C-alpha cells in the first residue's frame, strides 16, 4: 500500500509482516487458512438465536469457516435453476415481487436472477410464510418493467460453495427427506463437484426431530429422518467420504432431545455440541485440527486485563475468559444481527458486517473496531524456521496504537516498541514470543480505531499450506468402553445396587444413582383451552423436566406421549406438544429415563454440591499409565436456553496408593472438561506413580448444579 487514499475517515490499523520492499516468503493471514464451507438448510443456520455449529467450529479450530445454509433449502437448489410462479418488477426499483415462488429454498445473497433476459445480483430475500410469496431485493435497479413467469434464479453451487475455494465442504440436508434415488444422485454430484474443486467432502445426516412419538410437537417423523441417515451413510461408504451420523448421535447422546429448540427440529447452541464433536473427530483424522498457518481472533472487554481463565478454543496460553471476551465471528445466515432474531434480511452488507475474519482478510478500508482491544493467536506455516517476524502497522492521523506480545516462558505480556516507516509503523516479534511456530499478540488503540487487516511472515523459506492427510475416509463412531473386559471399575453403569445405593461405590452428600422407571399417574388433565401445553398431574410428585407422560383413554384424540418442558408448580407442568383439546379424567404412565443411549439400562449417577461418589480399583504390578473414559453431562433445565451452555462443572479426582494404602504423589485432578446438557464422552490418560497398587476415583460437581455420570472405564496400561 502507498499513501492513505483508500482508507476511510476513521483511524484504521493494518498489520502486515515482512519487509516493506518485498512480499514476505512465509505469509500468514486469514486467506492463508484452509476454508471449510458448510452448506445445507435451516438445521445449519442457527434458528431462534442459537449459535450455529459452523460458528462453533470456527471458534474451536484454526480454519476459515463459511456457512451458506438456506432455510427450507435442499440439494436441488445447489445444482439446478430455480423457476416457478410469477414475478413483477418496476423499472428503476430494486425489488422483484414474486407470487407462488420458492425463493426461500435456495437463493443466497450474491446469486444471480434473470428476468425476461435481464440479469441482476440478489442482495437479500424476504419471505412471507406460510404463503409462497416473497421479494428478491436487487443490487441494481431494474432495467425494464416486467410481469410474468420468465424468471430464473441460478443454481447456488458457484456462490454458495465454489467461489469460496474451499479445502473442505460439509453437506447436511434434512429437507432432502428420505433421500430417494434422484436425491442420492444429487449427493453424488455434490461429492463429484467438491472433489473437482480439490476439496474434501464431509457428509452429515440431519438432526433427529423431537416428533410426536418422542413426546415433542414436531409434525415430522423420525422414520423418514432415519431413512435419510441410512442413505447418507451408504453414500459416504460407496463414495469413500468422511461421515458424521448426526441423527444417531442425537438418539445416543440426547435421547430426551434437550438439544433442540422448542420447535422440535433445530439444534440449540448446546445441542450443536454433538455435531461439533463428530466434526472435530473427522477433522482430526484429516489433519485439520492442527492446520497451519492460522489466525484466530477475539474482541476483548475493556475490563479484561488478566487474560486468565478457561477458553473454548484449541490453542495454548494465554487463555481468554469466556465471560468477558468474544471470539471472532463468521456470518450467520439465519439472523445477520447476532443478538436479534428479527432483522431486515441476510444481505450482502450483513454478511460483510458480521464476518470478523472477512473484515481483516485484506486491506480495503473496512475493519474490526479496536474497542477494548483485540487479541490474536497466529501460527506460521508448518516447518517454518523464521529468523525474524515483523509486525507492521499503518494508521491514519495520530491514532495511538499499542502492541503486546505474549512471552510464554515468563507467563506475561510484553509491550512492543513501535517504529515509524513512512505511513507504516512496525513492531518486531521477540524471539521469546515464538513457541512452536505460534505466537499471541494484543492490540489496542484510540477510540474509533479499527483493525483493517492482519497478516505476517518471516525472512525465508517456502510457503507451506494445509493438505489433507492420507487417512482413508471413514465414519465417526462413538462407543462406550465400560463393558470391556479390561475395565477395572466395578458397577461402571451404576445399574447394580438397592434404591439410593450403587454397589462398589461410596456415595456421600446426597450423591445417588438415577435409574429409569415407569409409574402410573392417578389423574391427568389439560386444563387451559388457551394453553394446550399446560397439563395438571396427580400422583406424579417428583416428575422432572424431559420426563415423558404417555396419555391414554382420551375422547378428544389427546392420546400419546408428552415430554415435560417446564415445571410450573402446584402439580402442573408445561409440555412440548400441544393437546388437541382441554380434557380431564385422563390416565397416564410416567416414564423417567435420564440415561445415555450408548450405555444400556438407562442408569447414571447424579451428584451436586458436596455430593461425591468414590470407588477403588486394584492396579496390576506392571502398570505405567491408566486409560480413562466416561460419559457425563450437566443437569440444570432451568438454565437451558437457546444460546446457553453450562459451565465446566464436572470434577474427577484420581488418588494413587501403594500396597500399604499410603498416598503416592499429588492427586490427579480433572476440572477442565467442556460440559454440555447432552451426554459427552471424556477420554484421557495419566502416568501412574511407581509402586501404585490401587487408584481411588471420585466423581463430583463443581457447584450446586447437578452433574450426571455413566459408563465409567479405567484400564491399566503397561
**What backbone phi and psi angles, to 5 degrees, belong to 630?**
-170, 165
CATH of the domain at 98: 2.40.30
Q: Write the CB contacts of 665 (distance below 8 Å, at least 6 apart in sequence).
A: 656, 689
| Residue 580 domain flag | yes
Same domain, yes or no, for 199 and 61? yes
| Residue 259 domain flag | yes
Q: Which residues of 111-149 are buried (b: 16+ CB within 10 A; e: fewer)?
A: bebebeeeebebbbbebeeeebebbbbbeeebeeebeee
Question: 660: closest CA among 691, 704, 706?
Answer: 691
| Residue 494 domain flag | no
- Tell me how far apart the alpha carbons of residues 335 and 326 are, in angstroms, rounded to a whole number: 18
Mean pLDDT of 468-496: 97
CATH of the domain at 205: 3.40.50.1110
Question: 26: closest CA among 18, 36, 34?
Answer: 18
Question: Confidence class of residue 694 from pLDDT cuts 50, 70 and 90?
Answer: very high
Pairing relationship of beta strands 560-569 and 572-575 according to DSSP bridges = antiparallel
Identify the burial level of 184 via C-beta atoms within 10 angstroms of its C-beta, where 0-12 means exposed, 13-18 middle and 19 or more buried. middle
Same domain, yes or no, for 676 and 586? no
Q: Is residue 457 scored above 80 in pLDDT?
A: no
- Tell me how far apart the alpha carbons of residues 527 and 525 are, in angstroms, rounded to a whole number: 6
Edge-to-edge strand list for the sheet holding 151-153: 146-148, 86-89, 95-99, 134-138, 118-127, 112-115, 151-153
Q: Which residues of 19-50 are buried (b: 16+ CB within 10 A; e: fewer)?
A: eeeeebbbbbbbebbbbbbbbbbbbbbbbbbb
Check residue 585 and give its pLDDT. Answer: 93
State which of 285, 318, 351 marks the end of a domain.
Answer: 285
Same domain, yes or no, for 528 and 557? yes
Task: For residue 603, give Cα distances in angstroms to 157, 589, 612.
Answer: 47, 19, 17
Mean pLDDT of 443-458: 77
Q: What is the pLDDT of residues 267-302, one digit of tens each?
A: 999 999 999 999 999 999 999 999 988 999 999 876
Q: Which residues of 249-283 are buried (b: 16+ CB within 10 A; e: fewer)?
A: bbbbbbbbbbbbbbebbbbbbbbbbbbbbbbbbbb
Mean pLDDT of 478-483: 98
Please spell the DSSP secondary structure of 562-581, one letter per residue.
EEEEEEEETTEEEESSPPSS
Identify the burial level of 360 via C-beta atoms within 10 angstroms of its C-beta, where 0-12 means exposed, 13-18 middle and 19 or more buried. buried
| Residue 485 domain flag | no
Task: For residue 172, give Cα distances in angstroms to 130, 267, 709.
Answer: 24, 13, 31
- Tell me how far apart the alpha carbons of residues 26 and 432 are, in angstroms, rounded to a whole number: 19
| Residue 212 domain flag | yes
Q: What is the pLDDT of residues 315-367, one digit of tens each?
A: 334 554 443 468 999 999 988 877 777 666 789 999 999 999 999 888 787 88
Same domain, yes or no, for 315 and 451? yes
Same domain, yes or no, for 525 and 630? no
- Answer yes or no: are the C-beta atoms of 145 and 89 closer than 8 Å: yes
Residue with cell 487474560: 307
3-state class (DSSP) for residue 5: coil
Question: Confidence class of residue 427 from pLDDT cuts 50, 70 and 90?
Answer: confident
Same domain, yes or no, for 624 and 654? yes
Same domain, yes or no, for 339 and 395? yes
Dihedral over alpha carbons 300, 305, 307, 309 (to 10 degrees):
-100
Q: Is residue 434 scored above 90 in pLDDT?
A: no
Same domain, yes or no, for 300 and 375? yes
How much of the chain exceeds pLDDT 70, in percent? Answer: 88
Q: Is residue 520 scored above 60 in pLDDT?
A: yes
Check residue 305 and give its pLDDT. Answer: 45
Check residue 461 and give its pLDDT. Answer: 46
| Residue 260 domain flag | yes
- Answer yes or no: are the C-beta atoms of 299 and 328 closer than 8 Å: yes
Of 97-101, 441-445, 679-683, which gets the smallest average pLDDT? 441-445
- Answer yes or no: are the C-beta atoms of 618 and 523 closer than 8 Å: no
The alpha-helical segments, DSSP class H, found in 80-163 are: 157-160
CATH of the domain at 685: 2.60.120.260
Same domain, yes or no, for 305 and 447? yes
State which of 136, 154, 172 marks the end of a domain.
Answer: 154
- Tell me how far apart the alpha carbons of residues 613 and 610 are, in angstroms, rounded to a whole number: 10
Domain that holds residue 364: 12-20+291-456
Find how far residue 328's CA is from the centre of its chain. 14
Identify the burial level of 316 via C-beta atoms within 10 angstroms of its C-beta, where 0-12 means exposed, 13-18 middle and 19 or more buried. middle
Q: How many domains does the chain have?
A: 5
Check residue 243 and give its pLDDT. Answer: 98
Summary mean pLDDT of the chain: 88
Same domain, yes or no, for 416 and 396? yes
How much of the chain exceeds pLDDT 90, in percent? Answer: 71
Question: Confidence class of residue 398 from pLDDT cuts 50, 70 and 90?
Answer: very low
- Answer yes or no: are the C-beta atoms of 516 and 524 closer than 8 Å: no
Check residue 22 and give its pLDDT. Answer: 39
Check residue 24 and give its pLDDT. Answer: 41
Task: Please give the grid coordinates belonging to residue 507.
Answer: 456415595
- Answer yes or no: are the C-beta atoms of 63 and 57 closer than 8 Å: yes
Question: 51: closest CA among 272, 310, 321, 325?
Answer: 272
| Residue 371 domain flag | yes
Identify the burial level of 672 via C-beta atoms within 10 angstroms of its C-beta, where 0-12 means exposed, 13-18 middle and 19 or more buried. exposed
| Residue 634 domain flag | yes
Amino acid at each position: 500500500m502507498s499513501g492513505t487514499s483508500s482508507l476511510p475517515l476513521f483511524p484504521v490499523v493494518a498489520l502486515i509482516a515482512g519487509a516493506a520492499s518485498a512480499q514476505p516468503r512465509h505469509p500468514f493471514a486469514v486467506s492463508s487458512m484452509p476454508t471449510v464451507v458448510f452448506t445445507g438448510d435451516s438445521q445449519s443456520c442457527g434458528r431462534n438465536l442459537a449459535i450455529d455449529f459452523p460458528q462453533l467450529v470456527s471458534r474451536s479450530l484454526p480454519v476459515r469457516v463459511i456457512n451458506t445454509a438456506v432455510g427450507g433449502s435442499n440439494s436441488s437448489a445447489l445444482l439446478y435453476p430455480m423457476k416457478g410462479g410469477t414475478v413483477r418488477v418496476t423499472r428503476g426499483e430494486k425489488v422483484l415481487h414474486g407470487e407462488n415462488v420458492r425463493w426461500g429454498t435456495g437463493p443466497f445473497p450474491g446469486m444471480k436472477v434473470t428476468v425476461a433476459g435481464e440479469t441482476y445480483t440478489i442482495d437479500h430475500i424476504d419471505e412471507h410464510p406460510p404463503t409462497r410469496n416473497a421479494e428478491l431485493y436487487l443490487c441494481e435497479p431494474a432495467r425494464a418493467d416486467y410481469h410474468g413467469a420468465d424468471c430464473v434464479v441460478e443454481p447456488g453451487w458457484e456462490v454458495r460453495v465454489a467461489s469460496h475455494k474451499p479445502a473442505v465442504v460439509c453437506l447436511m440436508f434434512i429437507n432432502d427427506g428420505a433421500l430417494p434415488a434422484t436425491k442420492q444422485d444429487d449427493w453424488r454430484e455434490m461429492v463429484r463437484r467438491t472433489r473437482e474443486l480439490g476439496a474434501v467432502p464431509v457428509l452429515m445426516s440431519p438432526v433427529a426431530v423431537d416428533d410426536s412419538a418422542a413426546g415433542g410437537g414436531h409434525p415430522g417423523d423420525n422414520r423418514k429422518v432415519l431413512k435419510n441417515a441410512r442413505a447418507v451413510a451408504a453414500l459416504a461408504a460407496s463414495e469413500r467420504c468422511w461421515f458424521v451420523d448426526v441423527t444417531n448421535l442425537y438418539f445416543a447422546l440426547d435421547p430426551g432431545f434437550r438439544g433442540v429448540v422448542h420447535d422440535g427440529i433445530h439444534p440449540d447452541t448446546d445441542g450443536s455440541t454433538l455435531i461439533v464433536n463428530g466434526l472435530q473427530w473427522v477433522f482430526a483424522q484429516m489433519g485439520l485440527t492442527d492446520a497451519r498457518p492460522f489466525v484466530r481472533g477475539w474482541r476483548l472487554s475493556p475490563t479484561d486485563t488478566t487474560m486468565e481463565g478457561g477458553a473454548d478454543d484449541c490453542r495454548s496460553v494465554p487463555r481468554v475468559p469466556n465471560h468477558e471476551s468474544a471470539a471472532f465471528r463468521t456470518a450467520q445466515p439465519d439472523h445477520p444481527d447476532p443478538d436479534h432474531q428479527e432483522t431486515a434480511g441476510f444481505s450482502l452488507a450483513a454478511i460483510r458486517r458480521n464476518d470478523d475474519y472477512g473484515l481483516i482478510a485484506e486491506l480495503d478500508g473496512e475493519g474490526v473496531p479496536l474497542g477494548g482491544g483485540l487479541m490474536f493467536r497466529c501460527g506460521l506455516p508448518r516447518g517454518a524456521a523464521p529468523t525474524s517476524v515483523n509486525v507492521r502497522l499503518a494508521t491514519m492521523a495520530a491514532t495511538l496504537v499499542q502492541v503486546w506480545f505474549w512471552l510464554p516462558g515468563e507467563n506475561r505480556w510484553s509491550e512492543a516498541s513501535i517504529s515509524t516507516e513512512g505511513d507504516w509503523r512496525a513492531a518486531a516479534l521477540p524471539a521469546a514470543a515464538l513457541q512452536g511456530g505460534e505466537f499471541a499478540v494484543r492490540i489496542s488503540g484510540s477510540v474509533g480505531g479499527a483493525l483493517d487487516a492482519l497478516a505476517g511472515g518471516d525472512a525465508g523459506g517456502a510457503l507451506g499450506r494445509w493438505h489433507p492427510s492420507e487417512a482413508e475416509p471413514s465414519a465417526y463412531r462413538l462407543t462406550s468402553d465400560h463393558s470391556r473386559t479390561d475395565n477395572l471399575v466395578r458397577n461402571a453403569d451404576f445399574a447394580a445396587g438397592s434404591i439410593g445405593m450403587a454397589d462398589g461405590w461410596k456415595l456421600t452428600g446426597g450423591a445417588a444413582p438415577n435409574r429409569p422407571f415407569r409409574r402410573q399417574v392417578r389423574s391427568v388433565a389439560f386444563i387451559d383451552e388457551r394453553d394446550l401445553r399446560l397439563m395438571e398431574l396427580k400422583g406424579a410428585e417428583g416428575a422432572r423436566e424431559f420426563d415423558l407422560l404417555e396419555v391414554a383413554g382420551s375422547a378428544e384424540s389427546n392420546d400419546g406421549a408428552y415430554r415435560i418442558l417446564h415445571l410450573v408448580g402446584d402439580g402442573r407442568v408445561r409440555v412440548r406438544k400441544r393437546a388437541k383439546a382441554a380434557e380431564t379424567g385422563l390416565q397416564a404412565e410416567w416414564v423417567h429415563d435420564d440415561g445415555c443411549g450408548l450405555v444400556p439400562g438407562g442408569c447414571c449417577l447424579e451428584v451436586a454440591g458436596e455430593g461425591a461418589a468414590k470407588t477403588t480399583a486394584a492396579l496390576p504390578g506392571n502398570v505405567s499409565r491408566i486409560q480413562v473414559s466416561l460419559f457425563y453431562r450437566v443437569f440444570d433445565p432451568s438454565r437451558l436456553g437457546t444460546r446457553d451452555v453450562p459451565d465446566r462443572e464436572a470434577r474427577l479426582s484420581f488418588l494413587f496408593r501403594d500396597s500399604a494404602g499410603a498416598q503416592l504423589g499429588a492427586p490427579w485432578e480433572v476440572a477442565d472438561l467442556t460440559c454440555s446438557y447432552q451426554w459427552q464422552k471424556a477420554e484421557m490418560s495419566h502416568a501412574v506413580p511407581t509402586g501404585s497398587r490401587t487408584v481411588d476415583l471420585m466423581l463430583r460437581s463443581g457447584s450446586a448444579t447437578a452433574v450426571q455420570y455413566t459408563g465409567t472405564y479405567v484400564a491399566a496400561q503397561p
